[in-house]
Structure formats: C-alpha cells, structure tokens
Amino acid sequence: MASRTAGMLLLAAALLLAAGSSSLTAVEAAAARLPPPAKGLSYEYYKKSCPQAESIVFGFLQNAIRKDIGLAAALLRLHFHDCFVQGCDGSILLDSTSEKSEKEAPPNVTLRPSAFKAIDDLRDLLEKECGRRVVSCADIVTLAARDSVHLAGGPWYDVPLGRHDGLTFASQAAVRDALPSPDSNVTVLLKALAKIKLDANDLVALSGAHTVGIAHCSSFEERLFPEQDPTMNKWFAGHLKLTCPVLNTINTTVNDIRTPDTFDNKYYVDLQNQQGLFTTDQGLYTDARTKPLVTKFAVDESAFFEQFKYSMIKMGQIEVLTGVQGQIRKHCSVPNTAAGNGDEMPWSVVETVAEAAESLVL
C-alpha cells in the first residue's frame, strides 16, 4: 500500500516535470517566433546604465495618453517614419538647418507636434534619472511607440534596445523615396517594403496601425473627387464628404471608423466593408496577395497581435546604428556636433560654460 502510494507520487511528480518542461518549450517556441535582436541591440541594454528607463517612459506616457489619446497614434507613426527613412536613428527628430529636413518633408508635416514634445520631455526625465546621454533618442521613440500600442488597448511586447542616434537628417528626396504615398497600389507597397526586408505579412500587420489616429482630407480625397473610387462603400464615401465637401480643406477624419481610439482588429473589418480610408488600406483587401491575411486578422485578433508584435520588432531594427556608429544626442532635435556640444572634449567645455552662464543669470 505504502509503496503503491509512493509509486503514484512518483508518477505524479514525473507528470508535473513533463508538464513543466513542455510549458518551457512553449515559452521558448514563443520567443523563437520573435525576430532575434540585431547586432549590437539587446533586451538588457540599459539594465546597468538606466534600469528604470522603461518604467519612466511607460509611467510618463500612461499619464500623457490618458489626457490625449491622439498622442498614442502620433508616437506610433513617428516610429514608423523614423525607421522607414534611413533606419531607426532618430533622424526624424532633427530640426533642419539650412536644407529642409525629414521633419519638414510633406508627409511628415502631418506628424503631430505633441509627439516631438513628448520625446523631448522623456529625454529630460531620463537625463535627470540616469545622467547625460545615456538613453538614445532613437530608443526613446521605439519605447514610446511600443507603450502607445499597449496604452491604446493593443498588445505589449519587449523591444531590443541600444540604437544610437544618427548624425545626419534625411533629405526630402530620401523621405519621398522611402515613404509610400497613400494612393499607392499593393505592388508599389510590396516593392517599397522589400527594399527594407519587410514582406507581405509585415505590410498587412503594420498597416493595422491605422486602427488608431486621424488623417487629413488631402490623404484620401483623390478617392472622392472627381468621382468616387468604386472600391469604396457608397455610404462611407458620403460620410467622408461631410468632412471633406470639396478638395483642399484642412479637415481631418478618423482612420478606423468603428473604434477610432482603440488598438484592435476592427481596421480589418473596415476593409472587409470597403471602409478603408486610403487606397493603400483598401488595396490590401482588393489584392489577392494580401486579402487572405486581412480576412484572417478580421476574425482573429490574437493572430493580428502576434504578427503585429513580430513586424514591429522587425521594423524597429531597420538599419540601426550601434557600437561606434552614431552618437547619443544631448538634444533630440540637434546632432551633438552641429550644436557645438559634441561627444568629445568640446562638449563638456561647452556644457560647463553654458551652466556657468545659467548660474550667473540666476
């Protein structure tokens, strides 16, 4: 009897062990489904230098996005523009000097000032907590986009960190080249994404970011005038014309008519109902290469979330600068050298002088 009980216990222990090891492999399998960190990036990058970095960013955004949900969309789009143009190097944050920069470039003029302000505020907070030039602007943008997705109702995921900030801003021509215009067809989109090693799955999932945020009439009015795009639902076209009654208004409308402020899969339901806003959105449901994935995401939100996480990590590692490349900017809108506050000796001298001047004024 006693030995039988012992045997049962052993069996139970063996079963528990087996269950334990199989759930371990499930975790490993899940991790394996995410793209590995690019060379020079790591999930533990600030563990020593700024262990609170992620909680500082999240705490700040939790509060800021509670007050303005539009900030979540603005920060998500900022990361997309940064990464698509010359890699995720914070170049989108740079103010122009003589030449016009990425920031002033057309598609880019609709990036919201609130997003740039939030990045600067976060940089200040991180500097106070962890010291000067420890956390890069490009990483702040990456973390802000990640947290925005989650704070708007979407999934949370870990992001590899360690990006350095670029030294140069992108020309307007480079921006035009890198960012597809919203009237593009799927062929054009797939080609543009292939150049930066993104595929059709990435295209469909990342476009799902249009589940939040707004657009100006100029971004889709070619679908209303002179005649209505036949792939647009008639009621929806009429609805849009209330906001955009004629060409060239400055009005805006929401990207996702069903749940405009929530990060969910309703964007794909919009597409199934011919209520996608841009040609690039609706095209995903018209084109046979991307339609099956739209259909899948429309009925299976967790499938969308899984692919979105994967594609965001991939996008967040496009042409990153690491190691000896780039720098960690003091101010996100100016490269250290251009401001005369460069990385090396002159930087500390300028700082000291500036601080001395400040204390004199005070």
Ligand X SMILES: *[C@@H]1O[C@H](CO)[C@@H](O)[C@H](O)[C@H]1NC(C)=O
Segment 209-228, which members bind ligand X (CB under 6 A)?
A: none
Q: Which three-class secondary structure state does DSSP give residue 142? A: helix
What DSSP assignment string belongs to 210-271? Answer: GGS-EEEGGGTGGGTSSS--TTS-HHHHHHHHHH-SSTT---EEES-SSSTTS-SSHHHHHH
Known catalytic residue: 79?
no
Q: Which is nearer to ligand HEM, 166 or 182 (CB)?
A: 182
Chosen from ligand HEM, ligand X, none, partner binding at 249 (C-beta under 5 to 8 Å by type) = ligand X
Among residues 154, 182, 276, 335, the one that binds ligand HEM under rule CB under 6 A: 182
**What is the 3-class SS of 269-280, one letter each residue?**
HHHHCCCCCCHH
**x-or-dash string of contact with ligand HEM, 199-218, rule CB under 6 A:** -------xx-xx-xxxxx--
Instruction: Note whether 311 and 295 are within 8 A (CB).
Output: no
Phi, psi of 118 (to 5 degrees): -60, -40
Residue with tokens 């400055």: 250
- Contacts for 258-263: CB closer than 8 Å, 24+ residues apart: 259/211, 260/212, 260/214, 261/69, 261/152, 261/212, 262/152, 262/153, 262/211, 262/212, 263/72, 263/149, 263/150, 263/152, 263/153, 263/154, 263/211, 263/212
Q: Which is nearer to ligand X, 242 or 361 (CB)?
A: 242
- The answer for residues whose C-beta is within 8 angstroms of residue 118's C-beta and 6 or more apart is 60, 61, 64, 71, 75, 144
CB of 247 to ligand X, least distance (A): 10
Instruction: Note whether 185 and 96 are within 8 A (CB).
Output: no
Q: Which is nearer to ligand X, 39 or 239 (CB)?
A: 239
Q: Which is nearer to ligand HEM, 309 or 330 (CB)?
A: 309
Catalytic residue among 79, 81, 164, 210: 81
Stretch that binds ligand X, among 82-90, 107-115, 168-176, 242-250 (CB under 6 A): 242-250
| 105 part of the interface to ligand HEM, by CB under 6 A | no
Among residues 50, 77, 87, 318, the one that binds ligand HEM under rule CB under 6 A: 77
Chosen from ligand X, ligand HEM, none, partner binding at 188 (C-beta under 5 to 8 Å by type) = ligand X
Structure tokens at 301: 């939100």
| 251 part of the interface to ligand X, by CB under 6 A | yes
- The answer for residues whose C-beta is within 8 angstroms of residue 347's C-beta and 6 or more apart is 330, 336, 341
- The answer for residues whose C-beta is within 8 angstroms of residue 238's C-beta and 6 or more apart is none
| 334 part of the interface to ligand X, by CB under 6 A | no
Chosen from ligand HEM, ligand X, none, partner binding at 243 (C-beta under 5 to 8 Å by type) = ligand X
Chosen from ligand HEM, ligand X, none, partner binding at 216 (C-beta under 5 to 8 Å by type) = ligand HEM
Chosen from ligand HEM, ligand X, none, partner binding at 187 (C-beta under 5 to 8 Å by type) = ligand X
CB of 79 to ligand HEM, least distance (A): 7
Instruction: Note whether 279 and 228 are within 8 A (CB).
Output: no
Segment 110-149, which members bind ligand HEM (CB under 6 A)?
A: 110, 112
Chosen from ligand X, ligand HEM, none, partner binding at 189 (C-beta under 5 to 8 Å by type) = ligand HEM
Residue 234: CA count within 13 A, CB half-sphere: 0
**x-or-dash string of contact with ligand X, 150-189, rule CB under 6 A:** -----------------------------------x-xx-
> By the criterion CB under 6 A, which residues form the site for ligand X?
185, 187-188, 242-243, 245, 249, 251
- Residue positions annotated with a catalytic role: 81
